[in-house]
Amino acid sequence: MKQEVESMLKSKEINPTVNRMLVLDYLLELKSSISLTDLELSLESFDRVTLYRTLKTFEERGLVHKIEDGMGITKFAICQDSCKAGMHHDLHVHFYCHNCKQTFCLPKTQIPEVKLPENYQRQEMELIVKGICSACAK
């Protein structure tokens, strides 16, 4: 397990420090995304700034992606697969649950194409669907 986490960091050219391995391990367990504040609450021994910079590094190297959850909170989630440093391929839908306040990646749900007005040049897209998640719907 620890071996796996370490090589995952190395493959993204991230120095595998103890801290970073613990953070990555935690993110991998997680079913949804997490905000910096919630991460700080979950991993109490870490300084907030360290977690901030850890997430920033992870994002820059293509290991996690940033999600605007649609309620003004920034969250982070492990990238699915093909993301590289400075190159995220993150065209899936995100789902915000009004009940549990969690934000889920829906990697199998692609963002459909939209036709923009004349002269608008698209570079990225974000689609946030809000409602009740499957766990809360039961």
Known binding-site residue numbers for Zn(2+): 97, 100, 133, 136
Q: Residue 120 in 3-state DSSP? A: coil
Say whether residue 44 binds DNA (CB under 7 A): no
Number of Cβ atoms within 10 Å of the Cβ of 97: 20
Residue 20 binds DNA (CB under 7 A): yes
Is residue 133 at the binding interface for Zn ion, with CB under 5 A as the rule?
A: yes
Least Å distance between CB 107 and a copy of itself? 10
Residue 96 C-beta-side C-alpha neighbours within 13 Å: 17
Cα distance between residue 125 and residue 33, in whole Å: 18
Contact status, residue 90 vs residue 83, Cβ threshold 8 Å: yes
Dist CA 9 CA 17 (whole Å): 9
What is the per-residue binding string for Mn ion in 56-85, x denoting contact by CB under 5 A?
---------------------x--------
Q: Assess 105 for contact with Mn ion (CB under 5 A).
A: yes
Our finding on whether 105 is near Zn ion (CB under 5 A) is: no
Which residues face 87 on adjacent strands? 84
Alpha-carbon distance 60 to 88, whole Å? 9
Binds 105, which of Mn ion, a copy of itself, DNA, none (CB < 5 to 8 A, cut-off by type)? Mn ion
Q: How far is the CB of 43 from Zn ion (least distance, A)?
A: 22
- Euclidean distance between CA atoms 104 and 72, whole angstroms: 15
Residue from 1, 86, 87, 112 binding a copy of itself (CB under 8 A): 112
Q: Which range, of 18-26, 32-40, 64-72, 76-84, touches a copy of itself by CB under 8 A?
A: 64-72
Residues that bind Zn ion (CB under 5 A): 97, 99-100, 133, 136
